[in-house]
Structure 1
């Protein structure tokens, strides 16, 4: 294997190991030596790729940003939030995104609690992600409906509700099936944004 390919493989193994450990132990309770052991790599190999556990988490955040951009190119994507199907597409998209990246998202939140720099980065990531879909609620105001707040505030409310409920559902707090949870969220968000039921 070429050196570059081997380095990429080691970096991917370290990140995957970190995610597994973050899911079981949490970010704050995971040490670098835990990550290298889980990845089956020498302890010193970590520093060939990351200067710290925080830098590894930053790399995982960059991966999240890239993954979040993929849904825009989906053929079923519609930005028209007057259409319940468009709202459902976005709710379901985030739901599945959360399920896939729950360990990283939780690690980022844990890091933000003890590291102001991470708190800023996570807030910036959230703001940018929300700003990217504020034009979706423009369709609602153009149709004559009143948003609960500014476009950015309305989208932030929507994503906060979906994110919190996804976390609670994955923690087993509700009795809804996955499809029922997505449908309930869609109805809740659609009503909150448009003031109408469907």
Structure 2
């Protein structure tokens, strides 16, 4: 029998970490079923099946827990190396699609959290600044390489930022309408997460490069290739 220090044994997670994860999972489930403004500490502890005092042992208040959950999601959006781990740097369509996959999955799996981000942005100036800084930093990655991708372009840095923000905003509006507002016309399409991610990536690619994505890279949204003058 291997000892507790054997490499084959599974290390036990600290009780505090498990308790925090239990409370976070309960809060996420409630956010996805309802909303932030209806959320109460007693609802979270009841969902988690723990005593109310345990919550206050780990968190100073409801907002502290919610901010930790939102920070986890921001970190997932910012993990560029992980998101693009299987994609060649020169394959811009696949790079865009990999990021849209993360965004689509976040909205599909946890629409309540994405609504909560919007609510926190409205209610909390400090969090709004944090979210905007994260969003801008992610778009900055594309803005920074624009001169190398389009060496003949004479757009200024601010004009490039306008283009990138405008194109990104299209996808954000679609995701909000599809998963947050449950727009019936978008629901009627019956698109899977991968299919929607590819459509959004194709639209962004067309807007940025003024041409279609490579046909060989398309799996679901190849109908868009027929839209041309």
The interval holding the TM-score normalised by the smaller chain is 0.7 to 0.9
TM-score by length of 2: 0.71
How many correspondences in the alignment?
195
Shift in Å, 1:38: 0.9
The CA deviation string for residues 50-87 of structure 1, in whole angstroms up to 9 with x for no partner, is 11211112211221233224442343234447x43333
Counterpart Cα distance in 1 of 2:154 and 2:93 = 14
Aligned partner of 1:96 in structure 2 is: 105
Aligned partner of 1:30 in structure 2 is: 39
- Are the counterparts in 2 of residues 17 and 38 from structure 1 also a CA contact under 8 Å? yes
Unmatched runs of 5 consecutive residues or more in structure 2? 1-12, 214-229
TM-score by length of 1: 0.81
Larger Rg: 2
Shift in Å, 1:40: 0.9
1:43 to 26, 45, 52: 52
Unmatched runs of 5 consecutive residues or more in structure 1? none
1:187 to 188, 194, 202: 202
2:94 to 59, 74, 85: 85
Query: How large is the Cα RMSD of the aligned pairs?
Result: 2.9
In structure 2, the CA distance between the partners of 1:116 and 1:146, relative to structure 1 (3 Å rule), is closer
Counterpart Cα distance in 1 of 2:178 and 2:154 = 31
In structure 2, the CA distance between the partners of 1:172 and 1:139, relative to structure 1 (3 Å rule), is farther
